[in-house]
């Protein structure tokens, strides 16, 4: 059996004021998989993601990386994109934020320049490279932070709401980049409160209940059609599930959860009609 890239066991985390944000959560992430952490606001997604990224130590339970290693020995193999892009962009210019990770890896100046040029082109940041990050729009900051997270070419990317507040074109850019990463075998964990996003970014979903516990762990189909469990987690099923639930002619278990599935279902319905 291959070693998990991250293995969290019975993890509990209390914020300094005593708030229990994650309560006995277990999650094993295998290499090359795409996992979504789904939960309502305040469910504990960001806290769990930071535990998985080794940014906090759990109060109880353990988190280990790449087969029982300590995070300090593997930090350059992980990247964590925090929910607030401001926490990620701390250099005087966007260019320096993109150079920061590769510099830590001691790449040559030519290699660093190549990476920055490539990332800037891919995420439409060329015209922003010499600006201080605090003079960017919210969506521009998210793009810059995403590019910075990719700059070290990590094996595991932990992303907190990577497409929130993005317009359609920039959302597509990030989703395409996530597809490319998956094709390259990079492991991704995406935290989101949006069930509609899950099929586009994950093959497996871990649902967090309102009290920081993992209440479901399965395929997008299993979790996103479990209407009752989503409700108790404070969420609604994806738009497609709700739409097809309202239509006659589709069995509740066969309801589409993704756009490609919806297309197939609709074609079948139209052909029957
Ligand atoms: N710094 C903090 N100090 C105290 N409590 C905190 C802190 N940060 C978060 N919390 C609490 O921990 C719980 C989980 O918060 P967390 O940010 O992990 O949730 P989330 O699922 O990411 O929510 P959102 O969808 O709003 O981003 C919440 O009850 C929140 O109020
Ligand atoms: Mg959050």
Q: What CATH number matches the domain at 6-220, 3.40.50.2300, 3.40.50.2000, 3.40.50.300, 3.40.50.1700?
A: 3.40.50.300
Whole-angstrom Cα distance, residue 36 to residue 214?
A: 12
* Average pLDDT over every residue of 226-239: 96
Tell how far the Cα of 47 is from the centroid of ligand 1, in angstroms: 7
Q: Tell me, what's the pLDDT at 194?
A: 97
Tell me the residue length of the chain. 273
Give yes or no for residue 37 having a pLDDT over 90.
yes
The band of 222, judged by pLDDT with boundaries at 50, 70 and 90, is very high
Whether 205 and 218 have beta carbons less than 8 Å apart is answered as yes
- In a 13 Å sphere around the CA of 37, the CA atoms on its Cβ side amount to 32
Sign of CA dihedral 70, 71, 73, 78: positive
For residue 168, the Cα-to-chain-centroid distance in whole angstroms is 18
Whether 257 and 240 have beta carbons less than 8 Å apart is answered as yes
The band of 173, judged by pLDDT with boundaries at 50, 70 and 90, is very high
Tell how far the Cα of 43 is from the centroid of ligand 1, in angstroms: 7
Give yes or no for residue 157 having a pLDDT over 90.
yes
* CA-nearest residue, atom 26 of ligand 1: 41
Model pLDDT for residues 86-103, shown as the tens digit of each residue: 877 889 999 999 999 999
Q: Tell me, what's the pLDDT at 84?
A: 86
* Average pLDDT over every residue of 137-147: 93
Model pLDDT for residues 116-128, shown as the tens digit of each residue: 999 999 999 999 9
Q: Is the CB of 41 under 6 A from ligand 1?
A: yes
From 167, 238, 229, select the one nearest 201 (Cα to Cα): 238
Which of 7-11, 68-72, 155-159, 177-181 is predicted least confidently? 68-72
Question: In what helix (H) or strand (E) does residue 189 lie, and over which residues does it extend?
Answer: strand 187-192
Annotated domain spans of the chain: 6-220
Q: Tell me, what's the pLDDT at 43?
A: 96
The band of 134, judged by pLDDT with boundaries at 50, 70 and 90, is very high
Whole-angstrom Cα distance, residue 223 to residue 122?
A: 33
């Amino acid at each position: 059996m291959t070693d998990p890239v991250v293995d969290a066991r019975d993890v509990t985390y209390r914020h300094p004021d005593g708030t229990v944000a994650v309560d006995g959560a277990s999650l094993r992430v295998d290499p090359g998989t795409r996992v979504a952490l789904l939960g309502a606001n305040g469910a504990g997604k960001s806290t769990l993601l930071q535990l998985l990224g080794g940014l906090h130590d759990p109060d109880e339970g353990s988190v280990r990386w790449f087969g029982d290693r300590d995070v300090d020995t593997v930090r350059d193999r992980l990247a964590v994109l925090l929910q607030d892009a401001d926490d990620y962009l701390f250099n005087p210019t966007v260019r320096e934020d993109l150079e920061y990770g590769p510099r830590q890896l001691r790449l040559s100046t030519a290699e660093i320049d190549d990476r920055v040029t490539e990332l800037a082109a891919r995420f439409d940041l060329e015209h922003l490279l010499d600006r201080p990050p605090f003079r960017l729009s919210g969506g521009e900051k998210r793009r810059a932070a995403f590019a910075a997270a990719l700059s070290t070419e990590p094996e595991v990317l932990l992303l907190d709401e990577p497409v929130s507040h993005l317009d359609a074109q920039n959302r597509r850019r990030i989703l395409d980049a996530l597809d490319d990463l998956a094709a390259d075998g990079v492991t991704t964990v995406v935290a989101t409160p949006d069930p509609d996003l899950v099929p586009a970014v994950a093959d497996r979903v871990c649902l967090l209940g309102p009290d920081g516990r993992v209440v479901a762990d399965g395929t997008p189909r299993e979790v996103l059609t479990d209407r009752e469990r989503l409700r108790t987690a404070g969420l609604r099923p994806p738009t497609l599930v709700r739409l097809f639930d309202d239509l006659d002619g589709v069995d509740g278990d066969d309801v589409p959860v993704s756009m490609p599935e919806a297309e197939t279902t609709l074609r079948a319905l139209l052909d029957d009609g």
